[in-house]
């Protein structure tokens, strides 16, 4: 979701209700969002920069077509993320099963650990003639210093999703750029995700 060239973080996108898919904070006190000027429900920010969902809100994330796991908490991101920006905060989040959600509509990746969002960033994805596939993909392999055989370009911190060459990898995330179907991440974020991700971790790619 784009506002004035900025991309909305998953936290803000979820709270606003991306494509009317989910409305997590209905029936609470509305406040005005600085990004859009629209009314959005007021969220309760708990310690360590996290927004905790109540059981009713968690239940709304059970649609496995849109969410890789039930969401327990979201990062509190206080501004729309711009190209190249990212947030990582896993303080107080215990070790657990990791999954990744990529939303091509909002251009946002969300890294989840047992349902708690620990990282988010603006992404690049495939151009019209090289579309990024939708669906669920396990991470097949990892290579910190991979180079594309098809295009002869570096793809640092590469995590392979498909046998025909779709990867998550570090990229120069900037306005107007696209990939040949891969998910491009800011370099430092890609490195951090690469360190945390394991073969077999599930990646869900959706259009919200």
- Model pLDDT for residues 114-129, shown as the tens digit of each residue: 999 999 999 999 988 8
pLDDT at 132 over 70: yes
Q: Which two tokens stand for residue 146?
A: 């991979």
State the average pLDDT over residues 92-106. 93
**pLDDT for position 203:** 97
> What's the Cα-to-Cα distance from 137 to each of 94, 133, 203, rounded to whole Å?
24, 10, 5
DSSP 137-193: EE--EEEEEEE-TTT--EEEEEEE--TTS-EEEEE---TT--BSSSEEEEHHHHHHH
**pLDDT for position 68:** 92
- Model pLDDT for residues 59-95, shown as the tens digit of each residue: 888 888 999 999 999 998 888 899 999 999 998 898 8
Of the chain, the percentage scoring pLDDT greater than 90 comes to 51
Of the chain, the percentage scoring pLDDT greater than 70 comes to 78
Q: Distance between CA atoms of 64 and 76, rounded to whole angstroms?
A: 23
> What's the Cα-to-Cα distance from 161 to each of 61, 96, 191, rounded to whole Å?
24, 21, 17
Question: Residue 44: pLDDT band by 50, 70, 90 thresholds?
Answer: low
The DSSP secondary-structure symbol of 18 reads G
Question: Residue 56: pLDDT band by 50, 70, 90 thresholds?
Answer: confident
């Amino acid at each position: 979701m784009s506002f004035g060239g900025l991309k909305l973080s998953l936290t803000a996108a979820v709270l606003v209700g991306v494509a009317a898919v989910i409305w997590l904070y209905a029936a609470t006190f509305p406040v005005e969002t600085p990004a859009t000027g629209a009314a959005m429900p007021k969220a309760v920010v708990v310690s360590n920069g996290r927004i905790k969902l109540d059981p009713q809100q968690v239940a709304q994330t059970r649609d496995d077509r849109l969410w890789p796991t039930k969401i327990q908490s979201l990062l509190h991101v206080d501004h729309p993320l711009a190209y190249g920006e990212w947030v990582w905060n896993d303080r107080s989040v215990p070790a657990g099963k990791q999954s990744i959600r990529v939303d091509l509509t909002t251009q946002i990746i969300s890294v989840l650990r047992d349902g708690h969002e620990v990282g988010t960033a603006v992404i690049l994805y495939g151009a019209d003639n090289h579309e990024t596939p939708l669906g669920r993909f396990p991470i097949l392999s990892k290579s910190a210093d991979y180079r594309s055989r098809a295009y002869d370009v570096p793809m640092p911190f590469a995590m392979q999703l498909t046998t025909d060459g779709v990867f998550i990898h570090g990229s120069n995330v900037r306005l107007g750029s696209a990939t040949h179907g891969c998910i491009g991440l800011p370099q430092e974020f890609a490195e951090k995700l690469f360190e945390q991700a394991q073969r077999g971790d599930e990646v869900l790619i959706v259009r919200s």
